[in-house]
Structure 1
Amino acid sequence: MQDRMAVMEERLLSTVLEVDNKVAANEGQEHHLSRTSSRRTNNEELEDEEDFGFSRLPHSSPATREDVPKGAKLKLPDPFNGKRGTEAETFMMKMEMYYKEYSKHFTDERKIRAALVNMGEREPTKWANPLMQKHLKNTSHPYLTSWEAFKGTFLLKFSDPSKRDKAIREINSLRQTGSAQIYASQFRILKEDLDWDETALIDTFKKGLRYNLQRELLHMRISNPDIDNYSLEQVIETAIRADDILQQANALREPHSQPSGPKKDQSGETRTREKKERYPVEPFLKRSQEGLCPKCGKKGHTMKKCPEKHYIPDPVLGKKGMANEQKEGEFMGSKN
């Protein structure tokens, strides 16, 4: 037994030495081959990969592969199940997320191939088969000219045809019944299914606001003409802030307010309760931004702790006051 082991060890040693000699002899040739292979283009490298073998993706530097855990790599989405509407749109978004993760490896042609072979059974496969045959035969087809063309065709085939009409009806009938924040959230969801321009969306958004909030937005145009150039998101944020101020103002009550409804005085005559004081939104917003009490315009306290019982408007400046304010503004401008 020992003799046989000794013979095997000698054979193994001789084999190792033989391999070492071959490596040493071919060292220069291997160096030359490595330099030649480094000149290959990315497209040639992609063609050498298995067309749909995604296990090799992504190719990156060793440092990148170490930084991204194996389990964290994005996986190819499940095959499309053929359900129309939201599921078709979600499938396409998942495919695009996958392509984005490995953007260096997916040309438009490879994106189309990957999507075609990721169609599920029955209707999706029936739809994809003619396109795959065209692709295999290198036959030109309008759907295969670019990824955007393929994506648009897929969504046209499998999206919900009534979804847009439903969104139009719902967004036109949408009205603010609670806070502007809730109304804005509902509006944002519906607008995603529409291809309207900014102007149409802004007009529709304003139309659904409560009347008092629409009126305040109109008042703001007097002191801030730039509001007409606001984007949809700027209009939404302005409406939300104005609605918050209105709700704060409406929450203010007299310290000992009487319950609503007609009351009788000592003479027995019926008298109605005085109307609730109304506060302008624009000065409220301006004072809040300047760190002042929105109710009285002074520093050092909040509106809830304001000692004033009624709203104190800003003083009207005479000619002398306006001149001083203008000089002060010019002085501050020169300092800046």
Structure 2
Amino acid sequence: MEPEPTTAALLEAILNLTNQVGSLQAQISSQGQQLAELKAICKETNNLVGDKDQGGAQTKPGPSTGPITPPTHSGGEAHTPGTVRPGLKAPFRPSRGTGFDSEDEEPRLPKKEPQGTPRRHLGYLTPFDAGSSVKQPKMDLPKPFKGDTRGRKATQWLDRMMLWVALHCNQFDEEEQMVVWILYHMTDKAADWALPIIGNIIKGKGNPPTTIQALTAKFKEAFANPDAKQATARKIAALTQTTTTSEYVTEFRNLMAELDWNTEAYIAQFVRGLHWKVKELLSTKDNIPDDDLEAIFAASVKIDNICWENEENRPKKTPAKSPVSTATTSTTTTQRVRLSEDPNYVTPEERDRRRASGLCVKCGQKGHGIKQCPNGWKATPKETAKVAQDKSEKE
């Protein structure tokens, strides 16, 4: 006969059974989550296939469409909409399309934020409200950044990416998700830099950038040209107005975008490079604030436009004929008349004809050239008259 179990043994057995039941429940929950993910993927695939069969607008998944949940740092599997990932503050609910919610999803109303809450960093870039009837403009998603370019091209890609995110900010619940979305669209060398940051954001480790401003600073540290500011400072110092003031302002603004000077330095450099006439007229305008760069831009462009308009409307003077040219023409004509009266004068056309025929240029006969001509030059009218006078005197 077996001994009766003690109370301690019974408690231990109950605890073991409880742990096993909890483990089984966790496995069931995990399998249910996986089934939900598979259902979502099948539904997504079915929608895509259905759109293709019906001849509707085909939506290709990938970087060229709307936000798609980026993979985790370790497993690489996509989370379904509404799934809370570790390290993220809110569920990531992407939608298909090029910036609009799909038809099978309920329309999402704009979130009501409590008073005093600062606006989203990129929200002020777009005036479109998620609940507005105005249709948002469509913008193609920029191509993934490979990291093989640095400097201005890299920062321009980031600016275009942030503009895309701003136009589709209603698809993101948190600014942190915008950061992950931008990092997800980096490949090759850039992905080697971005994936560890995504992993830290998902796992909640370290101090990764979770705002657009922090991401911009970290991105520029990695991909911006360290000598770009010095080179741009040299360019803006050498910039002067050579065409219209409008073009000068445009070039000046482009260089300003890469610098972080204060307003006084910008104004001093801009005025230094202005055309002297525009600068002179600008100094007479007392109603323009000395510390308002935009007002100085506008006033300079207006002054230059007025100067060009006055120059075009000014009556043009017809140039007077120069008497020197008339005298030269008459002198040339007189010389030609005198040459034609000379019996030894041979026209250029006649010279070419005699050379082509093998004749002497001087006398026009065959058998010798101009240097061996035995005939000599013909006597001029004055010489003929003198010879006749000598003969009459001898007689």
User: Normalization by structure 2: what TM-score?
Assistant: 0.45
Amino acid at match of 1:118: H
Deviations 1:114-153 (A, max 9, x none): 22322202x2122123223323332131x33433212210
How far off is 1:157 after superposition? 0.8
C-alpha distance 46-111 of structure 1, shift in aligned 2 (>3 A): farther
Which one of 206, 210, 235 corresponds to residue 170 of structure 1? 235
Give secondary structure in 2 for the equivalent of 1:215: helix
- Displaced runs of 4+ in structure 1, greater than 4 A? 48-54, 62-70, 72-76, 248-261
Tell me what 1:232 maps to. 293
Amino acid at match of 1:79: P
Q: Is the 8 A contact 2:267 2:291 kept in 1?
A: no
Tell me what 2:212 maps to. 147
CA distance in 2, matches of 1:182, 1:260: 38
Q: Is the 8 A contact 1:99 1:106 kept in 2?
A: no
CA distance in 1, matches of 2:168, 2:309: 51
Tell me what 1:129 maps to. 195
Q: Is the 8 A contact 2:209 2:218 kept in 1?
A: no
C-alpha distance 199-65 of structure 1, shift in aligned 2 (>3 A): closer
Tell me what 2:150 maps to. 84
Instruction: Provide the alpha-carbon RMSD of the alignment.
Output: 3.8
Tell me what 1:242 maps to. 303
Deviations 1:152-202 (A, max 9, x none): 101221122232222211111111122222222222222222222222212
Summarize the alignment of residues 181-330 of structure 1 with structure 2, pairs less than 5 Å apart.
Answer: 181-220=246-285, 224=286, 226-229=287-290, 231-250=292-311
> Is there any run of 5+ residues in structure 2 with no aligned partner, and where?
1-80, 110-129, 325-395
C-alpha distance 66-232 of structure 1, shift in aligned 2 (>3 A): closer
Q: Is the 8 A contact 2:289 2:295 kept in 1?
A: no
CA distance in 1, matches of 2:164, 2:223: 20
CA distance in 2, matches of 1:242, 1:260: 36
Which one of 103, 106, 109 corresponds to residue 176 of structure 2? 109
C-alpha distance 50-175 of structure 1, shift in aligned 2 (>3 A): same
C-alpha distance 109-180 of structure 1, shift in aligned 2 (>3 A): closer
Amino acid at match of 1:136: I
How far off is 1:60 after superposition? 6.3
Q: Is the 8 A contact 1:119 1:125 kept in 2?
A: yes
How far off is 1:248 after superposition? 4.4
Number of aligned positions between the proteins: 212
The structure where helix makes up a greater share of residues is: 1
Q: Identity, % of aligned pairs?
A: 22
C-alpha distance 97-186 of structure 1, shift in aligned 2 (>3 A): closer
Amino acid at match of 1:132: I
Give secondary structure in 2 for the equivalent of 1:219: coil
Q: Does 1:55 align with 2:96?
A: yes
Give secondary structure in 2 for the equivalent of 1:78: coil
Q: Is the 8 A contact 2:145 2:186 kept in 1?
A: yes
Q: Which moved more, 1:47-56 or 1:112-121?
A: 47-56
How far off is 1:75 after superposition? 5.4
**Higher relative contact order structure (alpha carbons within 8 Å, sequence separation ≥ 6):** 2
Q: Is the 8 A contact 2:264 2:291 kept in 1?
A: no
C-alpha distance 170-109 of structure 1, shift in aligned 2 (>3 A): same
C-alpha distance 176-159 of structure 1, shift in aligned 2 (>3 A): same
Amino acid at match of 2:107: S
Q: Does 1:95 align with 2:161?
A: yes
Amino acid at match of 1:135: I
Structure label with greater radius of gyration: 2
CA distance in 1, matches of 2:173, 2:290: 40
How far off is 1:230 after superposition? 5.7
Q: Which moved more, 1:53-62 or 1:165-174?
A: 53-62
C-alpha distance 157-254 of structure 1, shift in aligned 2 (>3 A): closer
Deviations 1:290-335 (A, max 9, x none): xxxxxxxxxxxxxxxxxxxxxxxxxxxxxxxxxxxxxxxxxxxxxx
Amino acid at match of 2:179: I
Q: Is the 8 A contact 2:154 2:224 kept in 1?
A: yes
CA distance in 2, matches of 1:246, 1:78: 45
CA distance in 2, matches of 1:260, 1:185: 44
CA distance in 1, matches of 2:222, 2:140: 25
CA distance in 1, matches of 2:132, 2:279: 56
Tell me what 1:156 maps to. 221
CA distance in 2, matches of 1:53, 1:109: 14
Q: Is the 8 A contact 1:52 1:114 kept in 2?
A: no
Deviations 1:217-238 (A, max 9, x none): 2223xxx2x3234622221221
CA distance in 1, matches of 2:259, 2:305: 28
